[in-house]
Amino acid sequence: MFARTTESPVLLIGAAHMVDLAVPLRSTLGGRVLDGVAVELDPERAQALFAEGDAARGGRSGVPLFARLWGLIQKRLGAEIGGGTPGAEMKVAVSVARERQLPVFLIDDPIRQTLLNLVRTMPFKERVALLVGAVVGLFVPARVVEHEMDRYTEDPAAFTSEIRRASPTIARVLIDDRNEHMAERLASLRGQGYGRLAVVVGDAHLPGLSAALGRRSIPVESIPFRELRRTTGPSSSSG
C-alpha cells in the first residue's frame, strides 16, 4: 500500500448510467496511485448490482412505482444506446479496486429512503409529471434519448438548469442533498487518511459535489463524462 496523504486532490469521475465506459474507466483508474475507490452506491444498491438472477430483481417492496419504471427504462435504453447496463460503471470501478486490492467505499444515501423522501416532499403537480414521464419513457425511441444525451454533453449546466426549473424538488432531493451527504462522507474518509481517492458518480453530480468539497477545503480534480467517453488513456481536467 502506498503512503496515504490528505494533500492530494480527490479525483471525481463523471459517468453516464446507460453508456459502456469500461475501457476508459479501467484506463483512468489503473493509471492512478490511489488509497481507495468511492462509488455512488449504498449497500442495498451495491448488493443488487452484484447479485445475479432473481436476487438482482428481488427486494423491491417499498420502492416507489416510478423508480421501478425508471429502472426498466434505463435497462432498455442502455442496451439500445451505449451497450451498457444500469450501474455497469460502478461495477467496473469496484472490480478495478478489488483487482488492485484497494478498499471500496459506498458513499451514497440509502436509495429507498431517498426515493421515499422525494415522493413525500414533492408537490402533487411534480409527482404526477414524474410518473407520467416514467410511463412515457417506456416507449420513447432510443434515438430521442441519445439526442438528449448529446445535448447534455454539449452543455451540462444548461441541461441541469432545465431540470431545476421543471422540478425543483427532484434537483434538491436527488442532486443537492446527496451531494452534501457524499461530500461529508468523503471528508470523513480524508480524515481517516484516505487522501488519494477516486470517486465515480453520475456526471450531473460533478459540479455540485466539487463545490461541496471545496466548501470543506478539499482540493478536487474532475474528469467529466464528455472527456471520459472520448479517452482511452488517463486524462483529466481541473474541477
pLDDT digits (tens, 9 = 90+) for 28-86: 998 899 999 999 999 988 887 887 543 444 444 454 544 454 454 444 434 443 445 66
Does some domain include residue 153?
yes
List the single range of 35-49, 64-78, 97-111, 117-131 with lowest mean pLDDT. 64-78
- Rounded distance, CA 196 to CA 214, Å? 16
pLDDT at 5: 63
Does some domain include residue 1?
no
The three cell numbers of residue 159 are: 441541461
CB 5 within 8 A of CB 192: no
| Residue 149 pLDDT class (50, 70, 90 cuts) | low
Count of domains observed in the chain: 1
Structure letter (DSSP) for residue 109? P
- Rounded distance, CA 41 to CA 212, Å? 18
Using DSSP, state whether 54 is helix, strand or coil: helix
Does some domain include residue 3?
no
pTM as predicted: 0.75
Does some domain include residue 2?
no
The residue range of the domain holding 81 is 10-238
The rounded mean pLDDT for the chain is 77
Does some domain include residue 46?
yes
Does some domain include residue 141?
yes
